[in-house]
Amino acid sequence: MTAKLFETALGIEKPWYVRDISFDIDAHKVTIFVDFTFGSLFQHPDIEGVYPVYDSSIQRYRHLDFFGHKCILEVQVPRVELPDGSVRMVEPVWPASRCGLNLRGEAPSADNISGLCPPGQRKAA
């Protein structure tokens, strides 16, 4: 139930899902672990089609606070091999894509975590 609540709040949709949630009351921090379903195929914006996962890595993103707690998203981000042989990261299509943000490098904080806007809000272009 808690995972579904955070999936809805963050706008996370299949093949992505909330795998786990960690609350650190003393540090006033919530960490949300996001993964994708094994065997998922992903599109890459540079080339038409869908491709299987080549490998993946964990990326950390700073989100707006939840319940007065600093919110960190730890996302298992896939890379796909394209027909030209290049391997490219597939950035999640939530919530930053709806906000017009690039998950890698926008509003970096002191601990090297990128900032995200709330679901359903778009940044002006």
- Return the higher-pLDDT residue of 114 and 40: 40
Residue 37 pLDDT more than 80? yes
Place of tokens 């038409």: 48
**Inside any domain, residue 21:** yes
What pTM, to 2 d.p., does this model score? 0.74
Range of the domain at 74: 2-92
**Inside any domain, residue 26:** yes
How many domains does the chain contain in total?
1
pLDDT tens for 38-95 read 999 999 988 999 999 999 999 998 888 888 889 999 999 999 999 999 999 998 877 5
Separation between Cα atoms, residue 26 and residue 95, nearest integer Å: 27
What integer pLDDT is reported at residue 50 of this predicted model?
96
**Inside any domain, residue 14:** yes
